[in-house]
Structure 1
Amino acid sequence: MLKLSPALLALFAGAMLSLMILLNSQLAAHSSPLLASWVAHGIGAAFAGFILFVCHLRSKRTRPAPRPVPKWAYLGGIPGAFTVILAAATVNSPLGLSGSVAFMLVGQTLFGMLSDLFGLMGSNKRKFSYQDLAVVCCILCGSMLIIFAPS
């Protein structure tokens, strides 16, 4: 099986997130952010089910017994639905796609750092470093340039 680096996969996921936001905002502009969220999650669930089915058919080896899943881990769709609704609304505002994605990147980075710091929801604990602070400052400055720089 083909092994890809986690960094490459994360980069691709970021591109897919931007594409998803763009498509959902187009749907929201012609309907509503709430309908766009419902459609996106319905189609996403159907596609994920298809991928799961294909992967299950291709898998021939035995798997170890899975660890028990915490009940709260099933609630990931809730922030996902809010993300789609809020992103669809902000992309159709003066922020546009790049401004929305820039602010979402800032929010993701800050939440990720807090999750690492406190070990939220079972994540591995990791302390802040001065380099982390520098990265956040660079992301904030870049986001501000994207949003406020004259065209």
Structure 2
Amino acid sequence: MAASTTISEGPRRPHPLEICAALCAGALLTLMLLSNGMMAAHTTPIFASLTAHGVGSVVAALLLLVFWIRWPARRRGASGRAPIWAYLGGISGALTVIISTVVVNSSLALTGTMALGLAGQVVLALLFDCFGALGLERRLPRRNDLLALASIIVGTLLIIFARGNAG
């Protein structure tokens, strides 16, 4: 699927449930990073990644089974099959787990790792939106997007470099 060349007029307002779900996903990401980092500290980052993805696969398979039994008519989305590149998400997931389990046990610690990870996510998301990468609708960044990115970067720098010895 080629990237759309139209530029959207602007995003719709998010539903409060979507905001809550995104906050929960962020909290779960932090919990995942902490548990994987602890596993890596006691074993290796690759073993921690394998364990995380193994447990995740079992949970996903059980959820898939429950949803298939509960809603058999919804087994496949309305558009059919996903594009082939969509199946490569597991590669970035595995690399994320391995890299973050190493970094969380460094001087960055959990907070610095999460802050830099958030900054990286926002930068890449803005680039994907701007260029319409991987089939996304092309959307040029607005002033508020760039101000938000600047705030995230400043906050990240404060978290990493302004750590006092107080406490």
Name the TM tier (shorter chain). Answer: over 0.9
Distance 1:132 1:4, change over 3 A: closer
Task: State the match for 1:111 in structure 2.
Answer: 124
CA distance in 2, matches of 1:147, 1:36: 25
**1:37 CA displacement:** 0.6
Gaps of at least 5 residues in structure 1 are: none
1: CA distance, partners of 2:95 / 2:78 = 33
* Alpha-carbon distance, 1:60 to partner: 5.2
Q: Secondary structure at the match of 1:5?
A: helix
Question: Using CA pairs below 8 Å that are at least 6 residues apart, which structure has the higher relative contact order?
Answer: 2
Size of the aligned set, in residue pairs, is 149
Distance change in 2, residues 1:11/1:145 (3 Å): same
What residue in structure 1 maps to residue 55 of structure 2?
43
The residue number in structure 1 matching 2:35 is 23
Distance 2:160 2:74 in 1: 51
Contact 2:37–2:104 (Cα < 8 Å) also in 1? yes
| TM-score, with length taken from structure 1 | 0.92
Q: Counterparts of 2:78 and 2:128 in 1: how far apart (Å)?
A: 28
* Residues 2-151 of structure 1: pairs in structure 2 closer than 5 A: 5-59=17-71, 61=73, 65-149=78-162, 150-151=164-165
Percent identity (aligned): 43
- Which whole-Å CA distance do the structure 2 matches of 1:135 and 1:101 have between them? 17
Letter in 2 for 1:52: L
Q: Which moved more, 1:11-20 or 1:125-134?
A: 125-134
Q: Which runs of 4+ in 1 moved over 4 A?
A: 60-65
Unmatched tracts of structure 2, length 5 or more = 1-14
RMSD: 1.7
